[in-house]
Structure 1
Amino acid sequence: MRRNYVDAVRSVVGLIPPAHVLSYGDVAEILSQGGPRQVGAVLSRHGSGLPWWRVIRAGGEPPRCHGRRAWDHYAAEGTPVKGTPDDDGGGYRVRIGAARWFPSEADWAALEALRAGLAEAGPKVSAGRDEVEA
């Protein structure tokens, strides 16, 4: 995966404030490149040090296999959720309609700069696979 795409995804995730979320698809849409799986791949491989719990599945489910750890972050930040975690860390959802982040004008300026940088860098990251289109 292109390094500038990885950096752009990391930058978007770093902007999401506490108690707010975006879906994997939201991040890809903001960047006008890739798709939910590509964003997930970036976070899986390069998400260290980021608020990974603020990027969720479109239905409000926390990141796979991290439901219990994510729950602790949601509780500490006051993220709106529905339900409580079961023994496997599932059983609840983030109320994405209430928690979705809507960037400020200043945030949009930063996001537009990221998007422009990706467009100038060359071929787009395909939404169909984790590799760069030729």
Structure 2
Amino acid sequence: MNQPSSGPPLTDVEEYAAAVLDAVRSIPSGRAMTYGLIAEIVGEELGRGGPRQVGSVLAGSGSRYAHLVPDGDGGRPGEDGGPADGEGVPWWRVVNAAGSPPPHHLTEALDALRAEGCPLSKDGRRVNLRRAVWFPEDDEPNH
């Protein structure tokens, strides 16, 4: 798992957060995943957590869990809509089951998604999940 190279072992909470952040960092530009899908993937590996826990991790990714992200980058979108340094957590690619980004970061998230060419709904307020959802298996060979 995403264990730091030095220092004490991760707590259970940090282990879960690291798995969530790894999953989010794997989402390609222009694609999206739901909180629930990430929770399922991490749950298969660790046997715990749910969509709310995924949201809590992402809410703390810029501060509480920054030490679990390479370079400590919290992942604010850069000018091109991607992570500011290419190593951050692209939190804007995680939406609810209806395709909506977090309400308190709606404009920032939608701007970043648009910049990446992510398919949005006709009104531009949600991700078109039928076209944009990404599954890690999509990148596996022989699939």
Fold shared, TM-score > 0.5 on shorter chain: yes
1:37 aligned to 2:52?
Answer: yes
Task: Decide which structure has greater strand share.
Answer: 1
**Aligned 1:1-134 pairs, distance under 5 A:** 2-32=13-43, 33-47=48-62, 48-49=74-75, 50-84=89-123, 92-103=125-136, 104-105=139-140
- Corresponding letter in the other structure for 2:132: A
In structure 2, C-alpha distance between the alignment counterparts of 1:21 and 1:28, rounded to whole Å: 14
- Corresponding letter in the other structure for 1:80: P
Identical columns (%): 45
Shift of 1:28: 0.5
Q: Deviations over 1:18-70 (max 9, x none)?
A: 01111000000001131110000000012422100100000111122111001
* TM, length-normalised to structure 2: 0.65
Give aligned pairs, total: 100
In structure 2, C-alpha distance between the alignment counterparts of 1:53 and 1:25, rounded to whole Å: 15
* TM, length-normalised to structure 1: 0.69
| Residue number in structure 1 paired with 2:6 | none
Q: Runs ≥4 in structure 1, deviation > 2 angstroms?
A: none
Q: Alpha carbon RMSD of aligned pairs, Å? A: 1.5
